[in-house]
Structure formats: C-alpha cells, structure tokens
Structure 1
C-alpha cells in the first residue's frame, strides 16, 4: 500500500496501476544531435504502450556525443559511459520493479549500454532508436560528418579557404539523427535488428521521417506482446542471434567498434 500511495503522488490511477508498468528509458538531451528528437520518439512509444493496454513511465538515461567529445579529454569518458548507462538502466528497473522496458538510445555507447542492461535484467525489453541523420550537401555532393574531418586537413594544408571551410561546417550535418555513415551508432542500430532486439527498420528509417514515429508506436505496442508471451532478452540473445549479428556486421561494413559491444552484450 505505501508503494501504491507513492505512485498516486505521481498522478497514477487505479486503472494505470492494474496494468503492466513499462519503463520508457529515454536518453533525450539537447547536446547530442542523435538525441535531440528522442522526446518525440518517447511520446510515440508511450502512445503505443497505452494503445496496447500498458502504463508507460518515462525514465532517463545519459549519453555522450562521441563527435563533440573528440579531440580533448572528453573522449576518455565515452566508453566508460556505456557502463554507467547499463548500471543506471538496471538500477531504475530493479528499484521500481518495472514489468517491461522500451529502450530509446541512438548514439555510439548508448545503444550497447542499454542492450547490456536488458540482458542483465532479463525482463521483457525492446529497443527503438532515434534514427539516422540525413546526408548533408556540400560542394555539389552528399556528405556526412567525415567531410568535416577531411576539411580540417584540407584547410591546414592550404587547399581550402576559410569561407569554404565554414560552408563545410554549416552543411555537413543537416539536422537531428545519428551521424550519417556506418559509424558505431548506425552500426549498432542495424545490429539491434539483426540480433532480434529491435523491430525491422530500426537501423535505417531516417530520424526526420514519419515512419520513425510509426516504428516507435509499434515498439510501444510490441512490448505488451512480449510481456503477454513472457519473451525475455535471454530468449532472444542466443548464440545463433549473435552469429546473425556478426554476419550482418560483415555484410554491411559496420564499425569495428561493434565487435567490442557485441562481446560486452554477450
């Protein structure tokens, strides 16, 4: 009864407490381009959970943007953040005895960190990311973040003037989403599908598309099916599933970092 009293203080009704309570774990922040849209993804997930007869509760997770953390001491915090994320998701879920989880990451260490937590907890869980960034346009071609690194070299070598250098800065990353290219974020979001922890399209549906919102709603509905059928992460994360993920990794040319993360999840 004291536990229910505290849930009532959060605005929860009898009807909501009598349904499965789903942790919607959002790594939304305003410092990571891959995460600035996760508030919209979380809202869509919550709508899907409610449509399927569950009670969603939003809970937080941290994240580091590897691009912004690059070139200074911040990069020393990136991989370590994966363990913090896994620990925090485990703590939130166990402390509040949530019935299921919808995990909402997008970028490099956040995706594996949440998958590690799901494997530890072994309660019904599904992952839906924020989606990849669209390509930028510069110099008459489609470009991505890698163009900015190339531009630094060209500028230092005297092969690019300051105005063009600034143009590359302004046009390489056009909006929200995980950085365009097979870096760790897009790699792990694709492998989340291949390993069976995310719905088809998780790795490739653009961040700005309506289809990404549809996917998030379907993930919210799917968690209720996983609870009903008592399907847990360790039922999905089998040796065959890891082999499937590794096969996918080789087929699409994923980041070599994905090996590091698949080993950690395993």
Structure 2
C-alpha cells in the first residue's frame, strides 16, 4: 500500500500536524485513529427534504461499524442532497452542482477512500461524477426501494401516480380517495418501488461494478440493507490497501455491461444522460449511439414496472440483479472487475432464479423490444431517445400532425381545453424544456393526454420534447431531442399542423417541412429569454452541454486527480 493521502494531514509533525489532529480530537477521537490507518469518508446525502434518503443516518452507522472492524477510521460528511419530489424547478438543474460539491469535498479533505450513500434519482449520478473526477477508491451503497404499497386490494407504486392522475381527471376517483392512496403508496422508507430512475441508478451502480452484489434491489426496510452497508464498510478499507480506484473498475467494458443490463431490466431513459456524464468524468469514450448498439438485441428479462408488472422488492426475492446478470452471461463482458475484487461474472455464477414470472431468460423474455432506441432525423440531428418496452407497439411507426406547446406553461394552460385541435393521431410537441430552456431539463416529456381524448378511451399519443421524463413513466415518448429548442434546434421551428413521422424500427424522426421553409422560419426565431443573469443557474445555462453529451458542464469533463491542497497554517 502506498502512502495514504490522509497522512499528508495527520502524519505531519510540528504545528501543522498539531492543528490537524487537535481539532479532530474534540470529537473524542483517540490518538491511534491517526496512526496511519485508512481514513474512509462516508459521503452522505441524508436530508429530510430528500424523503428517499431520510434513512441514511442508520446506513452510515452500519458503514462505520464495518470500517472500524476492518481497521479503518470513518468520517461522515454531508454534501448537497437532491430531493426529486420537492426541488424546483428540477433536481436535474443541480446535479452538476452537487457533483462539484462531492469532488471538492473529497479532494480537499484527508480521505483515502470514500463510500457514497445515494438513493434518490440525481444523488447517485452526482456523487459518482464527483468521485470520478478525484479517482480514489470508491464504493457505492444505494438506499434501496420502498416496499410496494397496497390500496384497496391492489399493489401500487410510483408508476400508478400517472394512472391516478388520469383517473382523477376523468372523475373515476375523488380527492379523498387520492389522498388515501398517498398514504398507502409511500408506506416505508426508500426510493420508488418500481424500476424508476432511482432503481435504474442502483442497478447501474451494480452493473458498473461499483457496489457489492445485490445492492440494487434489497428493500430499504429490509435489515439486509444494513448488512450490506456494514460489509461495504469493511470492503472499502481493503480497497484502499489494494489501491483499487474508480478508473480501474470503470472501463469501457463496464459501461457496455451497464447498457446491456439496463436494457434487460427496462431501465429509465434518464440512464442515458447520467451514464454519458459519468463516462465524460472518468475519461471513457461513450456516445449516444452506444446505447442503441449495445441494447439492440437485449430483450426485457426483468418483469418490473413500468415496462413489466412487478416491483423491485419482488426482483430481490426472485434472485436480485445477480440472477438477471447470470441470464446475460452470453453477451456480457464477464471478466469486468468489481469493487469486491471479483469479476461481475464470478459474482453471479452462483445466483439462482426463484420466480420465472419475474426473471425471464434470453430465450423466453417478457418482451422482445427493450433497451433504449436512438432516433435521428432533421428534428433531432444529434439524436433523441425512446424506451420501446414502455411504449405502445402500434405507435412505434406513426405519422401525424403536430400539436405544439411552446413552453410548459403553455402546455398546462391548453392541454385540457375542449377546443384544442387534437385527436388520437396527433403528435404532442413540447419545446423549451431542455438543459438550457427550462433550465435543467425537467421530467415533463411524458405529457398527460388531453381530457377529451381520455374520455374517448385514448391513453397514449406520440409525444416529443427536448426534456426528460420520470423513469416511473410510460408511453410512446420521444425525449432528449438534441439540439434543444432553446439552443436553436429545429424543434424550435415546429408549428401546429406540421407532419411528423416516427419510425422506431428504422430509428428515424422526421419533420416533413422543407429545408427552405425551415430556413425562412429561422429568420423569425428568437431564443427564449429566461432573464437569469447571476449565480449558479447563470453558470449552468452558459456551460451546460446538450443532452446527447450528458448535460454536464463543459469545464467539468475529465478527472483531475486527488491533488492535496497546500497547508494553510
């Protein structure tokens, strides 16, 4: 083991060493904690404003036990916590800011290895992005999904929010019943119980090799979540001794594995934008086409909502992610290294499937169409994404007239107007909800269906935007259109009545308007004025990259290493 980073602080003699150690000792720390043992940072996104992560204090205590058992010294520290359900205008706006918080907190402090405690959607990519930029031994623990809810004899989860919304709009349930369902759905600690973005991120972590096996699916309320946290505390100390850094695990093969596993579990479209950002930080070449290429022949193996019917806890009881990974061994890079020092193939070789209703096979999957499809055309020259497993098969090839909403406010004002010119063949188009335009690229792409169509029994339309959608959502929704409208992409030029053709099998998205006409329209186009001239949001707008690049800030690409700052005493 090379000299520990922490010894540049605690190993010093004279005044500097005195100051570094003395102030730590006011917490009751004995001398031998500074004798050269690994210092393990526990990066905690606990917050009462982030309900998904509100149980992380307990998990941190379990990690500390493991660190002590392995001969390390644990130090817990907070970073910005992003609560998907509360933060306005969108948690995605602050993902890059949180990553900066993580990066600088690690680099500036006497930390030899770090455990990342993350759960809610953006906390996972932001913590990993920040840690990648420093590249020290790192292990991730997810908070775990909440147990599935029960309401009036039915199992429910976050995907039912969209169904409840439609039912309420149609008068099928009333306000009292809606409030009753609230208390029945989120009945335990943890993040969304379905394969939303939080569960997708937990799966991504395990697929990349950044967590111990089974991290992805253990429910938050299950005591085994504490057990894996304690075991992770033990393991991170050994990783420091082995100098097993992030860059040794996050190889090109690891990213390809993550894409294939994401396809097999029906993961969120948000996976694309976060994995691209992580790759950019660690220095791995990854592009949007890779998501189509490596998921193209992977069917849906995990029967989990919203692409399937079951919940994350069911996946755990059926064998967990290792069971899914074992089914994919014929296509995965099985030698890819993971944090426990073993390969991803070795970690799953003893996995068993306890329910074929939940974990299928490559030969007998639940759906043939899975993964992320990347469509291109004059409407999305740099690409857009769609999730076939959550879409309506009959709409995968579609041609219809555009119904255009210039902003999210415009959408809310008109979507249920009885006079809105829309029918079951229409294509809903929402502009100015991309990285710069919202700003932050909010989860509004899965626009609700107009009430007058719901009343006719229409529950899906082709919907197109430069924004994102919740991983819990579903429908024939084209997202992440790049370039976005606010950056002058052709999406900004679409008008009501324009014909748009979508052909997912051929991977095309085309606006049937001539180049000459688009050039004329562009003469009158003006970028949306957000009237933001200061602070982080201004920095974000001026430096955020487009969706097909991961929506990171241009100046944050690439790792800069764990530089030790100069002594300041």
TM-score w.r.t. length of structure 1: 0.94
Aligned-residue offset at 1:81: 1.9
Name the structure 1 match of 2:250. Answer: 237
Aligned counterpart, 2:96? 83
The structure in which a higher percent of residues are helix is 1
Check whether the contact 1:148–1:169 (CA below 8 A) recurs between aligned residues.
no
> 1:87-106, aligned counterparts within 5 Å?
87-106=100-119
Check if 1:154 corresponds to 2:167: yes
The alpha carbon displacement at 1:90 in A equals 1.4
Of 25, 33, 51, 1:16 maps to: 33
2:158 to 145, 167, 179: 145
Q: Report the Cα distance in structure 2 between the residues aligned to 1:130 and 1:173, rounded to whole angstroms.
A: 15
Q: CA deviation at 1:91?
A: 1.4
For 2:216 and 2:73, the matched residues in 1 are separated by 27
Q: Return the offset for 1:201.
A: 1.3
**Structure 1: distance between partners of 2:201 and 2:179:** 31
Cα distance in structure 2, aligned partners of 1:162 and 1:122: 50
Q: Distance in 2 between matches of 1:30 and 1:208?
A: 17
CA drift of 1:5 comes to: 2.6
Secondary structure of 2:193 counterpart? coil
- Alpha-carbon distance in structure 2 between the residues aligned to 1:88 and 1:181: 29
Alignment of 1:55 with 2:73, yes or no, is yes
Q: 1:162 to 1:6 in 2, by over 3 A?
A: closer
Q: Secondary structure of 1:75's partner? A: coil
Q: Which residue of 1 aligns with 2:233?
A: 220
Deviations 1:212-233 (A, max 9, x none): 0000001100101101111000
Q: Report the CA distance between 1:35 and its aligned residue.
A: 0.6
Q: Distance in 2 between matches of 1:187 and 1:161?
A: 32
The question of whether the paired residues in 1 share the 8 Å contact of 2:106 and 2:131 is answered with: no
**Contact between 1:148 and 1:168, CA under 8 Å: does it hold in 2?**
no
Q: How far off its partner does 1:146 sit? A: 2.4
Please show how residues 196-207 of structure 1 align to structure 2 within 5 Å.
196-207=209-220
Q: Does the aligned pair in 1 maintain the 2:135–2:246 contact within 8 Å? A: yes
Q: Corresponding residue for 2:53? A: 35
Task: For CA contacts below 8 A with separation 6 or more, give which structure has more relative contact order.
Answer: 1
Q: Which has the larger radius of gyration?
A: 2
Q: How many Å separate the matches in 1 of 2:261 and 2:232?
A: 22
- Name the residue aligned to 1:127: 140
**Whole-Å separation in 2 of the counterparts to 1:153 and 1:248:** 32
Q: TM-score, normalised by structure 2?
A: 0.45
Alpha-carbon distance in 2 for matches of 1:262, 1:92:
22
2:44 maps to 1:26: yes
| 1:178 corresponds to | 191
| CA-based RMSD | 1.3
Distance 1:8 1:166 in 2: 50
Structure 2, unaligned runs of 5 or more: 1-16, 280-569
Aligned residue-pair number: 261
Offset from partner CA, 1:225-247 (integer Å, 9 cap, x none): 10111100000000000001001
Residue 202 of structure 1: CA displacement?
1.1
> Any gaps of 5 or more consecutive residues in structure 1?
none
